[in-house]
Amino acid sequence: MTTPPATMSLDALVRLQKTARAAEGAVSADVRRDRLQRVIDLVVKHRDRLCAAIGGDFGNRPRSFSLMYDLTGSIAALKHARKNVAGWMKPERRRGYFPFNVLGARAFVEHCPKGVVGIMGTWNFPVYTLLAPLAYVFAAGNRAVLKPSELTPRTADLVADAVSEFFRPEELAVVNGGPEVGQAFSGQPFDHLVLTGGTHVGRAVMRNAAENLVPLTLELGGKAPVVVGRSADLEIAAERIVLAKTTNSGQLCVNADVLYVPQENLEAMLAAMRRHFDRFYPGSYAENPDWVSIISERHCQRVDDYVNEAQGLGARVETLGGTYHGPHGTRLPLRLVISPARECRIMQNEIFGPALIVLPYETIGEVIADINSRERPLALYYFGHDAREERQLLDHTISGGVTINDVAMHPGLHDAPFGGIGASGMGHYGGREGFLEFSHARTIFRAGWWDPRRALGLLPPISRKMESLAERGVSR
Active site residue 180: no
What is the bridge-based pairing of β-strands 379-383 and 224-228?
parallel
Number of Cβ within 10 Å of residue 66's Cβ equals 26
Torsion of CA 182, 183, 188, 194, to 10 degrees: 50
- Using alpha carbons, list the distances in angstroms from residue 79 to 16, 42, 89, 173: 28, 13, 16, 21
Active site residue 219: yes
Q: Which of 219, 350, 390, 437 is catalytic?
A: 219
Q: Cis omega before residue 377 (within 30°)? A: no
Listed residue (170, 129, 172, 145) closest to 38, CA to CA: 172
Q: Which residues does residue 225 pair with via DSSP β-bridges, in sequence order?
A: 258
Compute the distance between CA of residue 203 and CA of residue 195 in angstroms, rounded to an integer.
Answer: 11
What is the strand order of the sheet 106-113 is part of?
Answer: 92-94, 106-113, 439-446
On whether the CB atoms of residues 444 and 109 are closer than 8 A, the answer is: yes
Q: Residue 61 phi/psi, 5° resolution?
A: -150, 115
How many CA atoms are closer than 13 Å to the CA of 443, on its beta-carbon side? 5
65 burial class (0-12, 13-18, 19+ CB within 10 angstroms)? middle
On whether the CB atoms of residues 348 and 328 are closer than 8 A, the answer is: no
Compute the distance between CA of residue 418 and CA of residue 427 in angstroms, rounded to an integer.
Answer: 8
Q: Which of 253, 300, 344, 437 is catalytic?
A: 253
On whether the CB atoms of residues 399 and 413 are closer than 8 A, the answer is: no
Compute the distance between CA of residue 179 and CA of residue 434 in angstroms, rounded to an integer.
Answer: 27
Q: Which residues are catalytic?
A: 219, 253
